[in-house]
Amino acid sequence: MKQVILRGWLLVCLLLQVTLVSAAVSVTPDRNPVGLGEEFELEFVATGGNPGNPDFSPLNQDFQVVGTSTSQNFSMVNGSFSQQVVWKVRLFANRTGKLSIPSLGFGTDRSPSIDIMVMDQVPGGSASNLVGKDDVMVELEPETATPYVQQQVVVVQRLLHAIPLQRNRASMTHPEIAGGKGVMQQLGGVKQYVTERKGRRYNVIERRYAVFPQASGELVLGKTIFEGVLDQGGPRSFDPFDFSGGGKLVRRLSDPLTLQVQPQPSSVGGSWLPARKLTLNAYWDRPLDQLKAGEPVTLTLAIIAEGLLAEQLPLLEVRVPDGIKSYANQPEFRNDANDSTMIGIRQEKWVLVPSGGGKFELPALELPWWNVASGSMEQAQLKAEQLVVTGEPLAPPAAAVPDPAAGTPQAQGAGQTPQPTGPALSVAADPVPLAGQGAMSWLLWVGAVFVLVVLAGLLRGLYRRHRSGAGTQRGSGYREAALVRLKKACQINDAVAAQGALRDWMREEPGLLPATMAHLRTRADPALRQALDQLNAALYAGEREPWRGAGLWQAIQAFRPQMPEHRPGSGSAARGLATLYPE
């Protein structure tokens, strides 16, 4: 037992001694020279110690690392213990010439640097080098090498092969931006066709990309890599350790592509939109000569640009005339790609609500853009539109209109003398009545008032008889029912239900015909007008904040119709007319 323990301690001491010994690192390629695109292997061996984990990233400067593997061996010969760690790195060169494998760090130790000769094709080399440089080619080609900033550049990536390749064993990386700032997106799918170069027939696999430089200066697209397997025909044997699947591995790289991006021309101010084609489009959801006051009409505006992303398109400034409320929804962006270009679409929806009847003109819209084909500025335009709205015209500003209740006999009580209400009355120049005309006018007015009183009594009696009958006539019951629905809609903050109940209530409320929002607004106080605007915004403007109905219900409860022909407080005649509309 003591001997076993002693041997264990001896082994531990030997291991500790080995770890304290510096490891010697060597590097050996499996062949030299190698062909361009041909995979080869480097073997790093560390002996006599315990090296740390190596860093192979310096190899990426001139090579592409395909994979790595590690193995470790321990041995004891004549009482001497040794350790060996082996790293195998599979890689291929990015270019031809004399390339250096740099010194790599293995913990505190380093490997030596060696040189590798890379050739287009190695004469008498391995079987994979039977494929010549011109047999398989990869290239990147731009439609222009000197674009403007933010201009679309179509870059074509091609694989050309004159020898057969296994169709299900080929892959090619997408190009990536290696230097500068830009945005890139693939256009369409993969195209295949046959072409001829220098008298030789090639099968072509092609992909297209739209590149949008975001800054002037150089924009660099890195190399793209093709990997495939030569199709040699005949039966294929299965070898689990042959990653090429029994065929001859073919690998090719494109040259990097550099674009010289020009800045925006100094002569161009404002928005910068370099496009192949740009149009403004407008759509109305109803004819513009059949609009009604208080009813919304939707205008859909769209910018369609070939050669621009939707996110590059600006906001349109719609100048809405006075008398029309406008609400804009959040814009929608869409990018459609075909085989030749990117098409950016920005769509905006505007809801317009006329406050009253009349004719309104929506001004023309213009959007300047840069035509990349002609190298000049152009204007996309929408012509001015005229909106014809039926309904009660908008009232002029109050300061410019005389008060009819103070200046007309219809609004004055018996024996009441009109009082001037402001400077507007001082411009009146009515002719002085002749003798006798005043008495005649007074008699006519007395007769008219008598007739109105008799008619009012008859109408009131008829109304009461109908109300006491079958109950099918419309009256205050409909009004109260509409108010109940309106109150409930406001309590649960349902803007759509509130709008419907509000319209039903207006049809039954005295003095609110025609039953339109615009007409109600002319009769409303500031609190109700504000509540109506908030309701319209919730219905048509897509407000992110939820609508709250408490303000509308409170304003409706305090609402008293402000009728121009009988304003409250203007006299006993006004109070008498109110009885024609029983509550």
Residue ending a domain, among 350, 368, 390, is: 390
Residue 547 lies in a domain: yes
Do residues 108 and 69 both lie within one domain? Answer: yes
Residue 483 lies in a domain: yes
Do residues 101 and 53 both lie within one domain? Answer: yes
Residue ending a domain, among 98, 127, 156, is: 127
pLDDT of residue 400: 44
User: Rounded to whole angstroms, how far apart are CA atoms 225 and 255?
Assistant: 10
Please give the chain's pLDDT, 583 residues, in tens.
555 555 555 555 554 444 444 568 889 998 888 887 778 889 998 887 667 788 888 998 888 888 888 888 777 666 666 778 888 998 888 888 899 999 888 877 888 999 999 887 665 544 444 567 788 999 999 999 999 999 999 999 999 999 998 878 889 999 999 999 999 999 999 999 999 998 999 999 999 999 999 999 999 999 898 988 888 665 554 444 444 455 678 888 898 999 999 999 988 877 899 999 999 999 999 999 999 998 999 999 999 999 999 999 999 888 999 999 999 888 999 999 888 999 999 999 999 999 889 999 999 999 999 999 999 999 999 999 999 999 888 766 554 444 444 444 433 343 333 333 333 322 333 333 333 444 444 445 555 655 565 566 666 655 554 444 433 344 567 788 889 999 999 999 988 889 888 888 888 876 776 677 777 877 888 888 888 888 877 776 655 568 899 999 999 988 876 554 444 444 433 333 333 333 3
Residue 433 lies in a domain: no
Q: Which helix (H) or strand (E) holds 221?
A: strand 217-221
Residue 384 lies in a domain: yes
Do residues 219 and 296 both lie within one domain? Answer: no
Residue 574 lies in a domain: no
Residue 343 lies in a domain: yes
User: Rounded to whole angstroms, how far apart are CA atoms 392 and 513?
Assistant: 10
Instruction: Annotate 23-52 with DSSP letters as a single string.
Output: PEEEEEES-SSEETT--EEEEEEEESS---
pLDDT of residue 174: 94
pLDDT of residue 10: 53
Do residues 278 and 257 both lie within one domain? Answer: no
DSSP code of residue 145: S
User: Rounded to whole angstroms, how far apart are CA atoms 499 and 264?
Assistant: 51
Do residues 301 and 190 both lie within one domain? Answer: no
Judge residue 489's burial from the number of C-beta atoms within 10 Å of its C-beta, 0-12 exposed, 13-18 middle, 19 or more buried.
buried
- pTM of the entire structure? 0.61
Do residues 94 and 148 both lie within one domain? Answer: no
Q: What share of the chain is helix, strand, coil (3-state, %, to 5)?
A: 25, 35, 40
Q: How open is the CA angle 57-59-62, to the nearest 5 degrees?
A: 130
Q: Which helix (H) or strand (E) holds 521?
A: helix 517-523
How does strand 153-161 pair with strand 217-221?
Answer: unpaired
User: Rounded to whole angstroms, how far apart are CA atoms 300 and 281?
Assistant: 8
Amino acid, res. 238: F
Residue 151 lies in a domain: yes
Between the alpha carbon of residue 101 and those of residues 95, 116, 329, 544, the distances in Å are: 14, 7, 61, 61
Do residues 11 and 79 both lie within one domain? Answer: yes
Please report, for the domain that includes residue 369, its CATH number. 2.60.40
Do residues 156 and 118 both lie within one domain? Answer: no
Do residues 118 and 170 both lie within one domain? Answer: no
DSSP code of residue 148: B
Tokens 């291991």: give the residue.
Answer: 15
Residue ending a domain, among 346, 365, 390, is: 390
Do residues 6 and 95 both lie within one domain? Answer: yes
Do residues 377 and 278 both lie within one domain? Answer: yes
Do residues 113 and 149 both lie within one domain? Answer: no
Instruction: Annotate 262-323 with DSSP letters as a single string.
Output: BPPPTT--S---EESEEEEEEEESS-TTSEETT--EEEEEEEEEETS-GGGSPPP---PPTT
Closest listed residue to residue 181, CA positions, set 203, 223, 149: 149
How does strand 225-230 pair with strand 274-275?
Answer: unpaired
> In b/e form, how buried is each residue of 31-41, taking b as 16+ CB within 10 angstroms?
eebbbbbbbbb
Domain containing 11: what range? Answer: 2-127
Helical axes 550-557 vs 495-508, angle rounded to 10°: 10
Residue 374 lies in a domain: yes
153 — phi, psi (to 5°)?
-120, 120
User: Rounded to whole angstroms, how far apart are CA atoms 295 and 380?
Assistant: 30
Please state the domain count of the chain.
4
